[in-house]
Chain A
Amino acid sequence: MARTVSTRTRIGFTALAWIVALLLFSPILWTILTAFKTEAEAIASRPTFFPETFTLENFGAVQDRSDYIKHAINSILVSVGSTLLGLAIGIPAAWAMAFAPTKRTKDVLMWMLSTKMMPAVGVLIPIYLIFRDLRLLDTVHGLTLIMTLINLPIIIWMLYTYFKEIPVDILEAARMDGAELWNEIVHVLVPMAVPGIASTLLLNVILAWNEAFWTITLTSGRAGTLTAFISSFSSPQGLFLAKLSAASLLAIAPILLMGWFSQKQLVRGLTFGAVK
């Protein structure tokens, strides 16, 4: 039986949905608009909505001061690198937990997740000291390593959930067909889990891209990522609101675009288990 919804209720809810969506989006919209204003207009006591004098000079100034390109490359290296490294470790780990579990597998999974509940500052000092002694401070590979470790529990959990959906019969058939472990994973498990692996990859690239705590504390000039880049503009030296906006826009644009183009894949992957 179809539910009958009156036109008025429908219009009401549609309007409400738009209002909520716009409210959530408004800070980002405001940042975008401010990035194209002059500094004077940005802090004017009677704020304008659209820029009165449309300018691109903020972007030029930002690049001149802090080298956007370098930070962007670091962000790409760290987020993609840590995710690929995480998948290389996570796929075999999730295979073992999903298809060759022991009595303790559930406990290990819970323990891994519990490390995510701990506040990062709790391990700041030891990690900092380890990084200092291993000369990993302010290096891209050091940052990639720590980002891999931070996101590994999520990667393994996500992959584990997806792998659980795969009928074990099919992997057993591969074993009977003469596939050694490596071939079973590469030729059978991974192709069947592509949607799940893709959304794990996307989500973890986004998480690593947006991570600010470790990127800011473990880098200074050389290995800084875009989050370090933005924070360098929120200094108390002066209120460069337009430049800060331009920097923020530059930092979030790549990931926004990526999220936009992959949203179908993300939703499909995240609901993989829910709707078969």
Chain B
Amino acid sequence: MGSISLSHVNKSFGDVQVIPDISLDINDGEFVVFVGPSGCGKSTLLRLIAGLEDTTSGTILLDGQDMTKAPPARRGLAMVFQSYALYPHMTVRDNIAFPLKMAKASKEVIDQKVEYAARTLNLSSYLDRRPRALSGGQRQRVAIGRAIVREPKAFLFDEPLSNLDAALRVNMRLEITELHQQLKTTMIYVTHDQVEAMTMADRIVVLNAGNVEQFGSPLDLYKKPANRFVAGFIGSPKMNFVDGPEAAKHNAHSIGVRPEHFKLSRDNVPGTWKGKVGVAEQLGSDTFLHVHVGGLGLMTIRTDGDQTFAHGDEVYLTPDQTRIYKFDAAGKAI
């Protein structure tokens, strides 16, 4: 079991209030991602749940039990750190076995669980090495192995993939998702990368300056962003925003259109936005056009990879009328 419930959690470092007031309910078995820009308090929130930081006020329940004041060792959670945080003086085997030794498991149980974890994570042939002699991806696997063996109530990940190169990151992302499907244990995963959030999460918590902007499934956030911040943060490339008279036509303070929700043509159609292509980024499958639109600024448009627009071409943009997001003056969706 591993349900986690935060109620009115506040955290200040001295006079600096990092998390003003957060309440959250995470269900048993859920994969929840905390996403937000750097410095918004994701790690702090995770560390509060872990018990590595003390809450200033508010309560944290694990499986309905008040754990607000419990030390990390008693919470029964496992954490995977960005820096891996392996014990450099121990072999891979001893690293993975450490939580079991702390739990005073018998030698047979330890051996059996370590072997099993090593096999699952493809580490069997490295068990007698020191962490120093492993690659980044292998170190990350050891850190995950160390977390798995203690069969925690929940796994906490703090940007575990950000020290890996891009290709490895995609692989490990899949492995962690598979691990979740296999173990069905609650996981909380912190990242600043919205692609990781969208691809991995059952539900996403979007954080901004210590506040929860929205908590929902990836598609919910994409289709029904609660405000302009979420709309701009979720989706890649970023949503295009337009203020002023063009927004007023839709009875809104500002409107947003995603790059993939435009029709593009070379012919002048009434009611369209006329622009000039600045940079065309060709990815093969897609092409991203950065178009200067008179009076509205720079817009990013996503087209399929076969389009042959080039720098300086004149284009006409038609936003998909059913997919225009409207926001009021405070940035709330209407």
- Interface positions of A (Cβ within 8 A of B): 167, 169-170, 172-180, 183, 187-188, 191-192, 194
CB interface residues, B 129-162, toward A, < 8 Å: 146, 150, 156
State A26–B71 Cα separation when bound (angstroms).
60
Complex: chain A residue closest to B52, CB-CB? A172
List, in ascending order, chain B residues with CB within 8 A of A187's CB.
Answer: 98
List, in ascending order, chain A residues with CB within 8 A of B81's CB.
Answer: 169, 172-173
Can you show 20 pairs from A to B with CB atoms below 8 A apart? A169-B81, A170-B86, A174-B87, A175-B51, A175-B52, A175-B71, A175-B72, A176-B72, A177-B98, A177-B99, A178-B73, A178-B99, A178-B102, A179-B73, A179-B98, A183-B102, A187-B98, A192-B87, A192-B88, A194-B89
List, in ascending order, chain B residues with CB within 8 A of A174's CB.
Answer: 87, 98
Complex: chain A residue closest to B99, CB-CB? A177
List, in ascending order, chain A residues with CB within 8 A of B89's CB.
Answer: 191-192, 194
State A192–B86 Cα separation when bound (angstroms).
12
Are B83 and A167 neighbours in the complex by a CB distance under 8 Å?
Answer: yes
Distance (whole angstroms) from the CB of B151 to the closest CB of chain A? 12
List, in ascending order, chain B residues with CB within 8 A of A176's CB.
Answer: 50, 52, 72-73, 77-79, 156
Are B150 and A178 neighbours in the complex by a CB distance under 8 Å?
Answer: yes
B329 on the A face (CB < 8 A): no
The contact of B72 among A167, A170, A172, A191, by CB within 8 Å, is A172
List, in ascending order, chain B residues with CB within 8 A of A169's CB.
Answer: 81, 83, 85
Known A169-B83, A172-B52; contact A177-B88, beta-carbon cutoff 8 A: no
B103 on the A face (CB < 8 A): yes
Q: Which of A174, A178, A187, A191 has the most CB of B within 10 A?
A: A178
Q: Which 8 A-B pairs have the closest CB atoms?
A: A173-B85, A177-B99, A178-B102, A169-B85, A175-B72, A176-B79, A191-B89, A178-B73
Complex: chain A residue closest to B82, CB-CB? A169
List, in ascending order, chain B residues with CB within 8 A of A188's CB.
Answer: 87
Are B146 and A177 neighbours in the complex by a CB distance under 8 Å?
Answer: yes
Are A177 and B150 neighbours in the complex by a CB distance under 8 Å?
Answer: yes
CB interface residues, B 175-202, toward A, < 8 Å: none
State A271–B73 Cα separation when bound (angstroms).
34
Are B73 and A180 neighbours in the complex by a CB distance under 8 Å?
Answer: yes
List, in ascending order, chain A residues with CB within 8 A of B52's CB.
Answer: 172, 175-176
CB interface residues, B 63-106, toward A, < 8 Å: 71-73, 77-79, 81, 83, 85-89, 98-99, 102-103
List, in ascending order, chain B residues with CB within 8 A of A172's CB.
Answer: 52, 72, 79, 81, 85
State A169–B78 Cα separation when bound (angstroms).
13
List, in ascending order, chain A residues with CB within 8 A of B78's CB.
Answer: 176-177
Q: Which of A175, A176, A183 has the most CB of B within 10 A?
A: A176
State A180–B73 Cα separation when bound (angstroms).
6
State A191–B88 Cα separation when bound (angstroms).
9
Q: 12 more A-B contacts (CB under 8 A) besides A173-B81, A179-B102?
A: A169-B85, A170-B87, A172-B72, A173-B79, A173-B146, A176-B50, A176-B72, A178-B103, A178-B150, A179-B98, A191-B89, A194-B89
Distance (whole angstroms) from the CB of B307 to the closest CB of chain A? 47
List, in ascending order, chain A residues with CB within 8 A of B150's CB.
Answer: 177-178
Distance (whole angstroms) from the CB of B210 to the closest CB of chain A? 21
State A116–B194 Cα separation when bound (angstroms).
56
State A199–B287 Cα separation when bound (angstroms).
62
Distance (whole angstroms) from the CB of B76 to the closest CB of chain A? 8
Distance (whole angstroms) from the CB of A237 to the closest CB of chain B? 57
State A180–B52 Cα separation when bound (angstroms).
13
State A88–B150 Cα separation when bound (angstroms).
31
Distance (whole angstroms) from the CB of A39 to the closest CB of chain B? 56
Are B102 and A177 neighbours in the complex by a CB distance under 8 Å?
Answer: yes
Are A167 and B85 neighbours in the complex by a CB distance under 8 Å?
Answer: yes
List, in ascending order, chain B residues with CB within 8 A of A178's CB.
Answer: 73, 99, 102-103, 150
State A192–B95 Cα separation when bound (angstroms).
14
List, in ascending order, chain B residues with CB within 8 A of A180's CB.
Answer: 71, 73, 102
Are A170 and B85 neighbours in the complex by a CB distance under 8 Å?
Answer: yes
List, in ascending order, chain A residues with CB within 8 A of B71's CB.
Answer: 175, 180
State A172–B72 Cα separation when bound (angstroms).
9
Complex: chain B residue closest to A180, CB-CB? B73
State A188–B77 Cα separation when bound (angstroms).
19
List, in ascending order, chain A residues with CB within 8 A of B73's CB.
Answer: 175-180
Complex: chain B residue closest to A178, CB-CB? B102
State A39–B87 Cα separation when bound (angstroms).
61
List, in ascending order, chain A residues with CB within 8 A of B87's CB.
Answer: 170, 173-174, 188, 192
Complex: chain B residue closest to A167, CB-CB? B83
Complex: chain B residue closest to A170, CB-CB? B85
Distance (whole angstroms) from the CB of A183 to the closest CB of chain B? 6
Complex: chain A residue closest to B149, CB-CB? A177
List, in ascending order, chain A residues with CB within 8 A of B146's CB.
Answer: 173, 177
